[in-house]
């Protein structure tokens, strides 16, 4: 197992390099650079030229890439043009906000979806099943941002039940439980939006995985042994059905950090999502490169985690 | 006279489908005595597996046992509640299936799966159940039983898995063991070993066996009494030597003739013309008549009943009307 | 010969049906799937015919009537320069639907071709293609899309061509998952006996891939493409909502929802942003209903 992990980690390196090259090329395709967009009157052409030279912007692409990678390897992603701070600092500040929002969503989704998915599968074609199938269908068909807007309109604006935006009520200076409560209050609507999307997908996936498993011969055997139906479903079938489902969780790991760009920006939740939009709109390349590279790394780690989990819980893979 | 262990009377198991009603088991009656090995033979789709599943009440909805009685040790299985039949499944009646590769749960060890049955039906604790499981694995001839008990199904070969299935099935000393095509999916050499094992176990444990297969050779080797099924009905039944020597029903005769004999010199293999009828469009009269070289008008009109044709030998065919 | 019942006659006259016809029959029986199909057809219809039936054009500005609520003259009201919302909705439908459609076509063609080649040839080609797939799939989809879209914006692509850029963008970023699916299928099909038979007959490589292997993957490809269409439409709407997809004056459903970013409009002028969202929802839902039904119909292992 250790060998496997090491091998996979090593395999990730060329992929990450490929990713960084791809990213760099994409950004190089944009005309001009941060300085050409700057219309500060104090910035004379000479100063701009000087700055350009300092930032290596007058060098050919591959040289710029080299300088950048040199920094990355040391953990220095350069400075954000917009925030005038190291990229790593910027990311660190905001990424955890995305994380809590996504984490709470994730936990809620799991708690809701899996039992419903299992029961849906065991009562296929029943009213219960149809109802939740429809709910799931709606969940994956409605654009997340649209749903968010609807929620804001109904609950925040019309009913004043929840805050329209932000992570904390402005002007207050709460501590401890009060602060936590305030955060939760603000978290409610955006969480709802995120949860709907993932619940829908997870429910469907669990249901179809369960249905597949129930058709298997070994379930027939379990029944023929005289086991109660409950045991057959919740012990024999569920263990097998969960294998593919759990591996999805690993793939969701990156999205825990990448933030739900749309949802966060609609609710003005200070996560990595709006920051990314900011970086994009302001052509803040170091920040963009940093965010995308970190996200790519997380995706790869997520895949690795998914594969490891798969190996841990499926004995057929484990012992290879 | 040995007592009857199992007595099936006019069992009908029907499946409603979108295209019509499928009569998988269409009014069959037979008996299995204590300690007897009865073979049920027929082509795919003739209802033999459905009969087995009906006995254990494992028919998936929307199919159901429409009518009939299944008397096991004096109890009518069709009238039992679900909790009661669960006690019998795996306990007094167990079944082994055709596909050893997929019939065991891949995420549990062999030991865990056998122990589960033992703990359920015999109430032993985990430790004692494990001992019993190892003993069972030994009985079925699996080497290194104490290691295998902790292994997973995918680590064993097909033959070993089938032995493990058998171990699981006999772990609670069933009075009746149903074997549904137990060797069909295995190599010929392994087949022979499994069959030997089954015969050996039957002698030792004294259980009755209901052996379902489409292979006449297996029947000849193993069974003492044979029931031939076609299209959901029993068409002939007799003691094994009697059946092979003096088959009465044209279908049985066709089956026996179509088995290639290596020493004989033949130009063409004899086969029964035509095909098994579509369960949704059964022929009128005798189900077999479209393929029967002896068919008469009476055969096309009405169905023959299963009647005794000579001592201990029954057949459902108009050829023997008025014989006894 | 005995007389056949009328049912027997009907069955034998229909003859042996190909798997496609069997699937189509099954599909027709699936009421939900057919409902999806009808709704989808309806959405396509209003997008294509709607603009022709409307008394207004997309750009026609009625400056005396700006930001008016729904009325008899303008069933969905007007926007901030007096353009009729309903007409814009229909035109936007054309854009959203065609972007989605072409994006899916692009990704399907690339994805299945590459998947087929990777699966068939194996070895170096396979590794190369799958590495590229890995690189693409390492990016979370939306961040990458947004980054590229921003770069595209900088190229100052005129608005009327942005639509095509977006199509290409979504298409080019969506092919990797299909490649994996197709490759997996090809790998398992390759070993099956009918391929050995093809080999024994000496059939050429290209023929083997395109005439023997790929047709067996059509079912998965079709299902994946259908469901991908829904995803493409959602993606386009998200991009346009953020201002990075289709930009004004070209309308798209997602882009029309952008007005809701202003709290005032959100609260007081729901007729401007709610209908486009409903359109997206209905269309994607219809696609999913139909796609699910399609998948069930094409799955030969299904039993009910």
Tokens representing residue C242 in the block: 């953020």
**Chain C residues with CB inside 8 Å of B280's CB?**
7
Does A131 reach chain B within 8 Å, measured CB to CB?
no
- Tell me which residue has tokens 């400056």: C63
- Per-residue pLDDT, averaged over A93-98, amounts to 84
With contacts defined as CB-CB under 8 Å, which chain C residues touch A31? Answer: 154-155
pLDDT-based confidence at C84, cuts 50/70/90? confident
With bands split at pLDDT 50, 70 and 90, how would you rate the model's confidence at B263? low
> How far is Cα C78 from Cα A195, in angstroms, rounded to an integer?
34
- pLDDT greater than 90 at residue A285: no
Subunits next to B (3 or more Cβ pairs <8 Å) are A, C
Averaged over C186-198, what is the pLDDT? 74
Q: Which pLDDT score, from 0 to 100, does residue A119 have?
A: 92
Residue B324 has pLDDT above 50, yes or no: no
Contact between C155 and A31 using a beta-carbon 8 Å cutoff: yes
What interface predicted TM-score (ipTM) does this complex get? 0.85
Q: Strand, coil or helix: what is A252?
A: helix
User: Which structure tokens are listed for B196?
Assistant: 């030997």
CA–CA separation, A202 vs A132, rounded Å? 12
**C-alpha closest to that of B17 among B47, B61, B56, B50:** B61
| B290 to C5: CB separation less than 8 angstroms, yes or no | no
Check whether C289 has a pLDDT greater than 60: yes
Enumerate the residues of chain C whose CB falls inside 8 A of the CB of residue A134.
Answer: none
Question: Taking every pair of C-alpha atoms in chain B, what is the biggest distance, in angstroms?
Answer: 67
Burial of B189 (0-12, 13-18, 19+ CB in 10 A): exposed
Pick from A143, A149, A295: which is nearest to C140 by CB?
Answer: A295
Please check the confidence at residue B318 and state whether its pLDDT lies above 50.
Answer: yes
The pLDDT assigned to C16 comes to 62
Nearest to B119 by CA among B174, B176, B172: B172
- Provide the whole-model pTM: 0.80
Note the pLDDT of residue A220: 92
Cβ proximity of B87 and B96 under 8 Å = no
Average pLDDT, chain C: 78
| Mean pLDDT for the stretch of residues C191-213 | 73
List Cβ neighbours of B167 (8 Å cut-off, separation of 6 or more). B114, B133, B136, B137, B139, B140, B142
CA gap C205, C207 in Å, rounded: 5
Domain layout of chain C by residue ranges? 19-58+90-298
- How near does any CA of chain B get to the CA of C280, in Å? 36
> What does the pLDDT read at residue A116?
92
Chain C residue with minimum CA distance to B18: C304
Hey, which residues 259-288 in chain A have their CB within 8 Å of chain B?
A: none
Q: Please answer yes or no on whether C280 and A146 come within 8 Å at the CB atom.
A: yes
Residue B309 has pLDDT above 90, yes or no: no
pLDDT band at residue C7 using 50, 70 and 90 as cut-offs: very low
Note the helical H segments in chain B. 48-55, 82-88, 110-122, 126-139, 145-148, 158-170, 188-205, 216-222, 240-245, 250-258, 297-301
Does C181 or B50 have the greater pLDDT score?
Answer: B50
* Confidence class for position C304, pLDDT limits 50, 70, 90: very low
pLDDT at C173: 82
CA A292 to chain centre: 12
| Closest residue of chain A to C277, computed from CA coordinates | A146
Per-residue pLDDT, B211: 93
- Decide if A222 and B88 are in contact by the 8 Å CB cutoff: no
* A319 CB neighbour count, 10 Å cutoff: 11
Cβ-based contacts of C261 with chain A (< 8 Å): 266
Answer whether A277 sits within 8 Å of C281, measured CB to CB. Answer: no
User: Given this model, what pLDDT does residue C6 score?
Assistant: 43
For position C146, what pLDDT does the model report? Answer: 79
At C9 the pLDDT is 45
By C-alpha distance, the chain A residue nearest C146 is A280
CA atoms of B119 and A226, how far apart (whole Å): 11
Q: Which residue of A has its CA nearest to B55?
A: A224
* Cis amide linkage into residue A104, ω under 30° from 0: no
Mean pLDDT of B297-315: 85
| Chain C adjacent subunits, 3+ CB pairs under 8 A | A, B
Cα(B6)–Cα(B263) distance, integer angstroms: 40
Pick from B29, B51, B62: which is nearest to B212 by CA?
B51
C120: nearest Cα among C200, C202, C179, C177? C179
Distance from CA of C22 to the nearest CA of B (A): 14
Q: Is A316 in CB contact (< 8 Å) with chain B?
A: yes
Q: Percent of chain C at pLDDT above 90? A: 6
Average pLDDT, chain B: 87
For the residues of chain C, what is the DSSP string, one character each?
A: -PPPPHHHHHHHHH-PPPHHHHHHHHHHH-HHHHHHHHHHHHHHHHHHHHHHH-SS-SS---GGGTTPPP-SSSTT-B-TT--BHHHHHHHHHHHHHHHHHHHHHHHHHHHHHHHHHHHHH-HHHHHHHHHHHHHHHHS-HHHHHHHHHHHHHHTT--HHHHHHHHHHHHHHHHHHHHHHHHHHHHHHHHTSHHHHHHHHTT--HHHIIIIIIHHHHHHHHHHHHHHHHHHHHHHHHHHHHTTSSS-TTS--HHHHHGGGGSHHHHHH-HHHHHHHHHHHHHHHHHHHHHHHHHHHHH-TT---
Which chains reach chain A with 3 or more Cβ–Cβ distances below 8 angstroms? Answer: B, C
pLDDT value at B198 more than 80: yes
Q: Is the pLDDT of residue C161 over 70?
A: yes
Region B61-78: what's the mean pLDDT?
88
Residue B218: CB partners within 8 Å, gap ≥ 6? B39, B183, B191, B195, B211
Q: How far is CA C292 from the centre of its chain?
A: 14
pLDDT for the residue numbered C264: 79
Give the closest residue to B100 by CA, choosing from B173, B225, B212, B191.
B191
Residue indicated by tokens 């710029």: A64
Which of B62, B280, B281 is best to mutate for the C interface (most C CBs within 10 A)?
B281
CA distance C53 to chain A (A): 28
Q: B13: how many CB neighbours lie within 10 A of its CB?
A: 23
Joined tokens for residue B59: 């028919």
> Which residues are paired to B236 by β-bridges?
B228, B315
Spatial separation of the C-alpha atoms in residues C65 and A126, rounded to whole Å = 52
- Confidence at residue A210, expressed as pLDDT on a 0 to 100 scale: 92
What average pLDDT is seen over chain A?
80
pLDDT digits (tens, 9 = 90+) for A217-234: 999 999 999 899 999 999
pLDDT at A288 over 70: yes
CATH code, C19-58+90-298? 1.10.3720.10
**Measured between alpha carbons, how far is residue A205 from residues A121, A200, A247, B88, B290 in Å?**
10, 9, 11, 35, 48
Helix (H) or strand (E) holding A216: none
pLDDT the model gives residue C58: 67
Contact B99 A221 (CB under 8 A): no
User: Is B89 in the A-facing interface, judged by CB distances under 8 Å?
Assistant: yes
Position of tokens 């009109």?
B301
What is the predicted pLDDT for the residue at C10? 45
Mean pLDDT on A113-139 = 89
Give the rounded percent of residues in chain C with a pLDDT score beyond 70: 85
* Residue C250 φ then ψ, to 5°: -70, 120
Q: Is B209 helix (H, G, I), strand (E, B) or coil?
A: strand
* Residues from chain A contacting residue C280 (CB–CB below 8 Å): 142-143, 146
Q: What pLDDT score does A223 carry?
A: 93
What confidence score (pLDDT) does residue B95 get? 93
Structure confidence at residue A10 (pLDDT):
86
How far is C-alpha A92 from the geometric centre of its chain's CA atoms? 15
Q: Whole-angstrom Cα distance, residue A277 to residue B216?
A: 74
**Backbone dihedral region for residue B68 (phi beyond 0: left; psi -120 to 50: alpha; all else: beta):** left
Which pLDDT score is estimated for C17? Answer: 64
**What's the pLDDT at C1?**
40
Better pLDDT: B268 or A291: A291
Q: Is it the case that residue B209 has pLDDT exceeding 80? A: yes
Q: Do C2 and B18 touch (CB under 8 A)?
A: no
Q: pLDDT band at residue C303, thresholds of 50, 70 and 90?
A: very low
Is the pLDDT score of C29 beyond 80? no
Peptide bond into B62 cis (omega under 30): yes
Q: Does C134 contact A140 at a Cβ distance shorter than 8 Å?
A: no
Q: Band the pLDDT of B96: cuts 50, 70, 90.
A: very high
Chain A interface, best mutation among C33, C128, C143, C156, by max A CB count within 10 A: C143
**What is the mean predicted confidence (pLDDT) over C161-189?**
80
In chain C, residues with a C-beta closer than 8 Å to the C-beta of A18 are 131, 135
Q: What pLDDT is recorded for position C2? A: 43
Distance CA B197, CA B222 (A): 11
Is A221 in contact with B88 (Cβ distance < 8 A)? Answer: no
pLDDT > 60? residue C5: no
A315:B107 CB<8 A: yes
How far out from the chain centre does Cα A85 lie?
24
Q: Are C145 and C239 in contact (CB under 8 A)?
A: yes
CA distance C203 to chain A (A): 37
**Average pLDDT score over residue span B38-57:** 89
Cα–Cα distance, A275 to A269 (Å, whole number): 10
Query: Closest Cα of chain B to A219: distance in Å?
Result: 8
CB contact under 8 A, B283 and C7: no
Say which residue the tokens 């022929």 belong to. B283
> How is residue B310 written in tokens?
């000579």
Residue A162: per-residue pLDDT: 72
Query: Is B255 a residue whose pLDDT tops 80?
Result: yes
Q: Which of the residues B59, B106, B136 would you substitute to probe the A interface, choosing the one with the greatest number of A C-beta atoms within 10 Å?
A: B106
The span from the CA of B191 to the CA of B197, in Å, is 10
pLDDT on residue A34:
58
Of B97, B108, B116, the CB nearest to A217: B97
What pLDDT band is residue A7 in, cutting at 50, 70 and 90? confident
pLDDT at A320: 47
pLDDT exceeds cutoff 50 at A54: yes
User: Which of A4-18, A159-173, C170-184 bottoms out in mean pLDDT, i.e. has the lowest?
Assistant: A159-173
pLDDT digits (tens, 9 = 90+) for A59-78: 677 777 777 777 777 777 77
Measured in Å, how far apart are chain A's first and last C-alpha atoms? 10
Residues belonging to chain A: 320
Strand ranges across the sheet with B313-315: B93-96, B176-180, B208-213, B37-41, B225-230, B233-239, B313-315, B307-310
CB contact under 8 A, A315 and B56: no
Q: How many C-beta atoms lie closer than 10 Å to residue B291's C-beta?
A: 18
Smallest CA-to-CA distance from A138 within A52, A46, A203, A45 is with A203
CB nearest C138 (choices: A15, A158, A281): A15
Across B233-237, B261-265, C8-12, C131-135, the highest mean pLDDT is recorded for B233-237
CA distance C245 to A288: 19
pLDDT band at A173 (very low <50, low <70, confident <90, very high): low
Chain B residues at the C interface, defined by Cβ less than 8 Å, are: 18, 278, 280-281, 283-285, 290, 300
**Chain C interface, mutation test: which of A94, A134, A149, most C Cβ atoms within 10 Å?**
A149
Contact A15, A300 (CB under 8 A): yes
Task: Provide, as residue numbers in chain B, all residues whose Cβ is less than 8 Å from the Cβ of C2.
Answer: 283-285, 290, 300
């Amino acid at each position: 197992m250790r060998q496997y992990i090491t091998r996979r980690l090593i395999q990730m390196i060329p992929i990450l390099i490929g990713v960084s090259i791809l990213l760099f090329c994409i950004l190089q395709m944009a005309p001009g650079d941060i300085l050409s967009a700057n219309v500060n009157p104090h910035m004379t052409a000479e100063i701009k030229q000087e700055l350009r030279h300092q930032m290596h912007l007058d060098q050919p692409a591959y040289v710029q890439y080299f300088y950048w990678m040199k920094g990355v390897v040391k953990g220095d992603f350069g400075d954000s043009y917009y925030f005038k701070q190291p990229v790593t600092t910027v990311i660190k500040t905001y990424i955890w906000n995305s994380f809590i929002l996504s984490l709470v969503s994730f936990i809620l989704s799991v708690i809701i979806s899996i039992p419903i998915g299992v029961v849906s599968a065991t009562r296929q074609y029943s009213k219960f099943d149809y109802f939740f199938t429809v709910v799931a269908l709606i969940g994956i068909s409605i654009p997340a941002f649209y749903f968010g807007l609807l929620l804001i309109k109904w609950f925040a604006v019309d009913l004043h039940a929840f805050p329209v935006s932000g992570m904390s009520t402005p002007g207050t200076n709460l501590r401890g439980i009060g602060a936590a409560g305030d955060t939760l209050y603000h978290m409610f609507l955006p969480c709802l939006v995120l949860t709907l999307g993932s619940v829908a997908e997870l429910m469907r996936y669990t249901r179809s995985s369960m249905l597949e498993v129930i058709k298997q011969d070994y379930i027939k055997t379990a029944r023929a042994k005289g086991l109660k139906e409950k045991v057959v479903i919740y012990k024999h079938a569920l263990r097998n059905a969960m294998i593919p489902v759990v591996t999805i969780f690993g793939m969701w790991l990156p999205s825990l950090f990448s933030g739900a760009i749309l949802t966060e920006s609609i609710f003005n939740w200070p996560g990595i999502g709006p920051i990314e939009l900011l970086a994009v709109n302001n052509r803040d390349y170091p920040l963009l490169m940093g965010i995308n590279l970190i996200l790519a790394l997380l995706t790869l780690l997520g895949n690795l985690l998914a594969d490891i989990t798969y190996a841990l819980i499926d004995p057929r893979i484990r012992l290879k | 006279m040995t007592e009857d262990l199992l007595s099936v009377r006019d069992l009908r198991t029907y499946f409603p489908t979108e295209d019509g009603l499928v009569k998988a088991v269409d009014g069959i009656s037979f008996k299995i005595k204590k300690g007897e090995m009865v073979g049920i033979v027929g082509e795919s789709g003739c209802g033999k597996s459905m009969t087995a599943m009906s006995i254990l009440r494992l028919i998936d909805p929307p199919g159901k046992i429409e009518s009939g009685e299944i008397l096991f040790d004096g109890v009518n299985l069709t009238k039992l509640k679900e909790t009661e039949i669960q006690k019998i499944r795996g306990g007094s009646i167990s079944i082994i299936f055709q596909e050893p590769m997929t019939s065991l749960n891949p995420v549990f060890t062999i030991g865990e799966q056998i122990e589960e049955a033992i703990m359920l039906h015999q109430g032993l604790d985990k430790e004692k159940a494990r001992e019993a499981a190892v003993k069972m694995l030994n009985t079925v001839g699996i080497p290194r039983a104490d290691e295998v008990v902790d292994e997973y199904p995918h680590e064993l070969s097909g033959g070993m898995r089938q032995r493990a299935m058998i171990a699981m099935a006999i772990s609670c000393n069933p009075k009746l063991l149903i074997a549904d095509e137990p060797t069909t999916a295995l190599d010929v050499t392994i087949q022979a070993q499994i069959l030997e094992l089954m015969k050996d176990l039957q002698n030792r444990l004294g259980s009755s066996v209901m052996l379902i297969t489409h292979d006449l050779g297996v029947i000849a080797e193993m069974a003492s009494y044979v029931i031939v099924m076609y299209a959901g009905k029993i068409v002939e039944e007799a003691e094994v030597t009697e059946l092979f020597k003096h088959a009465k029903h044209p279908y049985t005769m066709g089956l026996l003739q179509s088995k290639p004999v290596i020493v004989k010199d033949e130009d063409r293999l004899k086969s029964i013309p035509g095909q098994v009828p579509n369960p949704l469009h059964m022929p009128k009269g005798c189900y077999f008549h479209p393929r029967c070289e002896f068919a008469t008008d009476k055969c096309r009109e009405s169905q023959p009943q299963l009647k005794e044709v000579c001592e201990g030998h029954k057949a459902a065919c108009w050829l023997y009307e008025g014989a006894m | 010969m005995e007389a056949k019942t009328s049912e027997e006659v009907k069955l034998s006259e229909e003859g042996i049906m190909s798997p496609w016809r069997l699937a189509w029959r099954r599909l027709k029986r699936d009421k939900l799937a057919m409902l999806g199909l009808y709704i989808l057809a309806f959405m396509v219809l209003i997008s294509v015919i709607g603009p022709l039936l409307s008394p207004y054009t997309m750009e026609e500005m009625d400056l005396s009537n700006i930001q008016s609520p729904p009325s008899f003259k303008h069933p969905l009201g007007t926007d901030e320069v007096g353009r009729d919302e309903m007409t814009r909705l229909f035109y936007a439908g054309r854009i959203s639907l065609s972007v989605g459609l072409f994006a899916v076509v692009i990704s399907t063609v690339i994805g299945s071709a590459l998947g087929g080649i990777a699966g068939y040839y194996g070895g170096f080609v396979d590794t190369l293609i799958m590495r590229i797939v890995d690189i693409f799939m390492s990016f979370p989809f939306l961040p990458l899309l947004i980054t590229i879209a921003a770069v595209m914006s900088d190229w100052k692509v005129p608005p009327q061509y942005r639509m095509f850029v977006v199509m290409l963008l979504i298409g080019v970023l969506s092919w990797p998952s299909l490649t994996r699916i197709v490759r997996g299928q090809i790998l398992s099909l390759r070993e099956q006996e009918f391929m050995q038979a093809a080999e024994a007959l000496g059939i050429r490589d290209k023929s083997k891939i395109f005439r023997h292997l790929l047709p067996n993957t059509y079912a998965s490809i079709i299902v994946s493409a259908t469901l991908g269409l829904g995803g493409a439409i959602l993606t386009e709407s998200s991009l346009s909502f953020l201002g990075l997809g289709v930009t004004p004056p070209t309308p798209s459903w997602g882009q029309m929802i952008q007005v809701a970013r202003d709290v005032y409009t959100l609260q007081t002028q729901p007729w401007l942003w709610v209908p486009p969202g409903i359109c997206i929802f209905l269309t994607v839902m219809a696609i999913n209903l139909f796609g699910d039904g399609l998948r069930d119909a094409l799955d030969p292992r299904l039993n009910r």
